[in-house]
Structure 1
Amino acid sequence: MSFDGVFTHAMISELRTKLIGGRVSKISQPYPNEVIITIRANRKNQPLLLSAHSSYARAQITNIPYSNPKTPTNFTMMLRKYLESGQLVAIDQIDNDRIINFSFLTRNELGDEQPLILSLEMMGRYSNCLLVNPTNAKVLDTIKHISSDQNRYRMLIPGATYRQPPAQDKLNPFTDTTDAFKSLLSEFPNKDVLAKELQNRYQGLAGQSSLDLATALHADTKNLDNSWKKFFTQFDTPVPTILSGKKLDFSAIPNVELTTGQSFDSLSEMLDTYYLDKANKDRVQQQGSHLIRVVKNELKKNRGKQKKLEKTLKNTETADLLRVQGELLTTYLHLVKQGMTEISLPNFYDNEKEMTIPLSNQISPSKNAQKYFKKYQKQKNAVIFVNEQLLLNQKEINYLEEIQSEIELAEPKDLPDIKIELQQQGLLKEQKLNKNKKAIKVKLSKPDEYYATDGTLISVGKNNLQNDQLTMKTANKSDIWLHAKNIPGSHVIIHSSDPSDETVTEAANLAAYFSKYRQSASVPVDYIQVKRIKKPNGSKPGFVVYEGQNSTFITPDLQKIMAMRRK
């Protein structure tokens, strides 16, 4: 089920219960197309996420931590100006469309009451979030500005007259009294065809919703009115579930075809879990595009260098042959005459079989022999040098692959640390200088914190700099260190010298999930006391060595990780 009209209906019911009557206490815009409005309601701060993302547009209460940009956007400043301390008085859906209007009651500069509407339009690439003054129907600001050049019908810029999106010529299934679905059922007995016709006739039904409705109608054709009413009544008391089929999906109601899934207490909690990876990856791709490009180019360059070195090494395989040819010429030098272009000599290394040796007729016989020895020595030296370069270059490739893996596993808040690391390694330009021409010190972000079932604190480093800080400086020597075996991943620290087996398993789950193999069914994880971890001098950030470890195999489980985070 996508975030369609019927899901929007269910979400509005949840938001009304938790937010109506609350007051705006904080407004931030951590990402370009997403705003978070913290509403104080029922003695609790509720972070309301309004996303106008082209792929993940949604409204929900979120518990996922976020970090604010240093400089607020113009849209953020406009929302703060008009909505801070305002009271949320209503949440409404336009028919059964994917449009939610949040009605606020605020006061203007004169102290008079002023109604305002924050409208979230979830329409794919046309998604937007608008602050509107309903008194004069003027747009105060939008998260995406749409000029008349982009849309002649509907201009969405500050000061423009607000117009609703064009109305769909479809029926609202929650208020329809025409019973048109009955004729559709008799006209289209095939369930899949009926689903498409329901989608064409009724507003707010995405593919899965219309198929679920068609299935429900087919299940009880003798009592269609009850089937219809029962289906839509479910959205007033949803059962949030992430479904496990060919691909993960989410639903606000029980699904008769996909019975296996993960249940949640609220729609918002379900969406947090479902979008955790998807939204984070997209945000990281946007905000870390420069870092991704730098690492990708460096990897390409070093992999190309590795191929050239391997080719050079292959060319040195003739070194022993050159040595034998030089020794044969030296031994039988009396047989070599000036001006010869080749000579066949018995090879005492191969049962006296004759070997034909090319010669230069421009130099003397002794210089011909010396020429072969020089080539031999050159290739022998090259073997040592090339092997050293192959080893160094492979280490660089391994390091860059680890950085690439870090970015893939990163959250937006982790990107500044990765940028600092790339600067320290000379892969990016140095940090900006202050007035005294000294590098501006940037404070590293803190490792993520989780809690085991018994309350034990577990820390997770999300990048190499955090890993070094956590393992080599923050952790006690008696703490337990964990890491996915022989693959890029996070350093995980159990802040206990004698953790229970259950705590070790939960920490191993974190180490497996925050590794390159998080999608694998069985990930090997090493664990050992911190005092046995060593960092070689001159090694890359995040690199450590150890021995005497224990190992376990873990299947990463995101649901358990989310539970550990919420404690």
Structure 2
Amino acid sequence: MPLDGLFVHALAHEFNQKLAGGRITKVHQPYPNEIILVVRNNSQNYPVLLSAHPAYARAQVTQIPYQNPKTPTNFAMFLRRNLEGARLEKIEQVDNDRILHFAVNTHDELGDEQTLLLTLEMMGRHSNLFLVREKDQRILELIKHVPADQNRVRSLMPSATYVLPPAQNKENPFTSDLGSLAKILLDDERANWAKAIQQQFEGFSSQSAQALVRAIDGASDAIDATKNWLAHFDQPAPTLYRSDKNKLSYAAFDWGQEANEKTAFETLGELLDAYFAGQAEADRVNQQAASLVRLVKNELKKNLGKQKKLEQTLTDSENADSFKVKGDLLITYPHLVKKGMTEVEIENYYDENKRLKIALDPRFDGLQNANRYFHKYRKLRLAKDYVLEQLAATQEEIDYFNQIQTQLAVASPKDVADIKVELIDQGYLREKARIKTKGKQTKKPKYVMGKPDQFVASDGTLIEVGKNNLQNDQLSLKKSNRHKIWLHVQKLPGSHVLIDSENPSSETIEEAAKLAAYFSKARDSANVPVDYLPAGKLRKPNGAKPGFVIFEGQQTIYVTPDAHLVQKLKKV
């Protein structure tokens, strides 16, 4: 189901159970449209994600790690001043709509008690997050400022009065007596029930309306069946569905949807983490790494074009002897060529006296045309060695940027900074100039590289996965790792994987190989070959780019990447 009003009802119920009465201890804004509130309640910290993302708007308790920017945004600083240390009283849903009010008890600048509403509207591209003063409904700040010429229905700027989005004038199914439902079932054909339910009741998506139809179809009392069905949203049993085409969908409880695989979760937050992990993370990476993606794409295009030209030159150089033959024939029979001729046919004594047609430059005589062919011959012969050297260097560049492209495709937001530093060190990207302070010597801040991702095998063995070349070098070439087992997908760009064991079980090797295949260009393939051997057998050639190693004496295992296994083994 999409995140409709019914699912938001279940979220509000879960939030009130976990968060109501807790203190907001920290506020972070790791991404442009998303806020993380750390709420401490019952001696436990809950990271609450409030997202106004146009495609992934949602509210949830999340366990997906995030990395804060070095400099907090103005919106994050404003929320910190007003919310940190305040008590979260309750969470309310507006009717059965996709709007949540997080009511926070705090004090104003004069010390008087006040209630602020952190209001999240989850409305697709119109999603927004507001901080509103309850007593006068004044908008203190919001995550997206919308000028009046872009929204004439209501003002979405600081100091304006907060007004709810236009009402849909539908019934709230949780407060209605459901009398109109009986009328729908009597007046409409079964094929029209779902659409009629959506039109009559607030908060129903097409999937949830169809699920309700399945629940009441054939029931002796449709009203009671509907009430029982709605009661599940107050006692959710979060369920993730995976289709035979590996497409994911979710519901607040198992409502009988057909699926190839069903996974149950304890909380709605865990369910949303599992559903949005890949999609939302990829979008965050695209936001942070847009310039890097463009750079890699341009470098690949440039080097592929260069490779094509070099290969054509190499093909021509392979035919260099044909130019020598034409020059020899022209210098043997110069009298057959007169200025103004564009071609001549001469008996070829190199090929059993067959006749050879030779193109001519009409500006020159026979000897001059012969010299032109000899010049081409010498040039191509000399170019061959240079072209082979350039082809090797160009192929190295193509392999390198294919590797970076693969890393960006599987990167999490925290990995992007490492990739950027690497590209700066390799000279492909310029570092932003630091502003010099008058009379002070500015020092370049020391960069702290991110750590490889960690996974735990079924038998408890630690498995580490490098998500970029800097991490790959750290895993593969560190002396203390020499006797541990190293893995990499065969002949394709991918992550370096290290098993923290000198003699791992066959099951652990298979699980690590599946991680290596998943974090590679072969992620969507089946029966992927993965090489493995002790890390001490790896060698890095002098001058090789980051992440490049050579080895021999490896063994190979064939596996199929498994996204579900990756989530299962991930160390939080």
TM-score range normalised by the length of the shorter chain = over 0.9
SS across alignment from 1:498 = coil
Q: What is the CA deviation profile of residues 99-157 of structure 1, one whole-angstrom value per residue up to 9, with x for unaligned ones?
A: 11111222344544322221111111111111111122222211112343333332132
- 1:103-252 equivalences in 2 (<5 Å): 103-191=103-191, 193-220=192-219, 222-245=220-243, 246=245, 247-252=247-252
Q: 1:134 to 1:377 in 2, by over 3 A?
A: same
Distance 1:183 1:337 in 2: 102
Which stretch shifts more, 13-22 or 91-100? Answer: 13-22
Q: What is the CA deviation profile of residues 301-328 of structure 1, one whole-angstrom value per residue up to 9, with x for unaligned ones?
A: 2222223333333444542222223344
Q: Which amino acid aligns with 2:553?
A: G
Distance 1:364 1:560 in 2: 75
Q: Do the aligned partners of 2:454 and 2:571 also contact (CA within 8 Å) in 1?
A: no
Q: CA deviation at 1:25?
A: 1.2
Q: Pick the aligned partner of 2:458 from 453, 461, 466.
A: 453
Q: Which amino acid aligns with 1:392?
A: A
Q: 1:74 to 1:439 in 2, by over 3 A?
A: closer
> How many residues align structurally?
563
Distance 1:297 1:11 in 2: 44
Q: What is the CA deviation profile of residues 248-293 of structure 1, one whole-angstrom value per residue up to 9, with x for unaligned ones?
A: 2111121324143222221111110111111111111112111111
Distance 2:153 2:70 in 1: 36
Distance 1:72 1:372 in 2: 68
Q: What is the CA deviation profile of residues 329-367 of structure 1, one whole-angstrom value per residue up to 9, with x for unaligned ones?
A: 56x46x846858676554343222233446679877666
- Corresponding residue for residue 498 of structure 1: 503
- Corresponding residue for residue 284 of structure 1: 285
- Corresponding residue for residue 313 of structure 1: 314
Distance 2:418 2:313 in 1: 38
Q: Do the aligned partners of 1:432 and 1:440 also contact (CA within 8 Å) in 2?
A: no
Q: 1:112 to 1:2 in 2, by over 3 A?
A: same
Q: 1:133 to 1:359 in 2, by over 3 A?
A: closer
Which stretch shifts more, 289-298 or 367-376? Answer: 367-376
Distance 1:494 1:387 in 2: 39
Q: Note if 1:529 corresponds to 2:529.
A: no
Distance 1:365 1:77 in 2: 83
- Corresponding residue for residue 422 of structure 1: 423
Q: CA deviation at 1:178?
A: 4.2
Distance 2:77 2:356 in 1: 86
Q: 1:343 to 1:407 in 2, by over 3 A?
A: closer
Q: CA deviation at 1:37?
A: 0.4
Which stretch shifts more, 250-259 or 344-353? Answer: 344-353
Q: Note if 1:326 corresponds to 2:341.
A: no
- 1:450-489 equivalences in 2 (<5 Å): 450-473=455-478, 475-489=480-494
Q: 1:324 to 1:231 in 2, by over 3 A?
A: same
Q: Do the aligned partners of 1:322 and 1:373 also contact (CA within 8 Å) in 2?
A: yes
SS across alignment from 1:541 = coil
Superposition RMSD in Å? 2.4
SS across alignment from 2:174 = coil
Distance 1:90 1:250 in 2: 26
Q: Which amino acid aligns with 1:217?
A: I
Distance 1:235 1:437 in 2: 57
Q: Which amino acid aligns with 2:290?
A: S
Q: Do the aligned partners of 2:303 and 2:397 also contact (CA within 8 Å) in 1?
A: yes
- Corresponding residue for residue 391 of structure 1: 392
SS across alignment from 2:266 = coil
Q: Note if 1:517 corresponds to 2:515.
A: no
Q: Do the aligned partners of 2:472 and 2:496 also contact (CA within 8 Å) in 1?
A: yes
Distance 2:292 2:337 in 1: 63
Q: CA deviation at 1:97?
A: 0.5
- Corresponding residue for residue 273 of structure 2: 272
Q: Note if 1:542 corresponds to 2:533.
A: no
Q: Which amino acid aligns with 1:160?
A: A
- Corresponding residue for residue 8 of structure 1: 8
Which stretch shifts more, 373-382 or 534-543? Answer: 373-382
Q: 1:196 to 1:166 in 2, by over 3 A?
A: same
- 1:77-88 equivalences in 2 (<5 Å): 77-88=77-88
Which stretch shifts more, 277-286 or 306-315? Answer: 306-315
- Corresponding residue for residue 374 of structure 1: 375
Which stretch shifts more, 349-358 or 234-243? Answer: 349-358
Q: Do the aligned partners of 1:475 and 1:493 also contact (CA within 8 Å) in 2?
A: no
SS across alignment from 1:306 = helix
Which stretch shifts more, 107-116 or 275-284? Answer: 107-116
Q: Do the aligned partners of 1:423 and 1:431 also contact (CA within 8 Å) in 2?
A: no
Which TM-score applies when normalising by structure 2?
0.92
Distance 1:372 1:156 in 2: 75
Q: 1:349 to 1:139 in 2, by over 3 A?
A: same
Q: Do the aligned partners of 2:181 and 2:223 also contact (CA within 8 Å) in 1?
A: no
Q: Which amino acid aligns with 1:299?
A: L
SS across alignment from 1:92 = strand
Which TM-score applies when normalising by structure 1?
0.93
Distance 1:359 1:287 in 2: 58
Q: CA deviation at 1:395?
A: 2.0
- 1:54-69 equivalences in 2 (<5 Å): 54-69=54-69
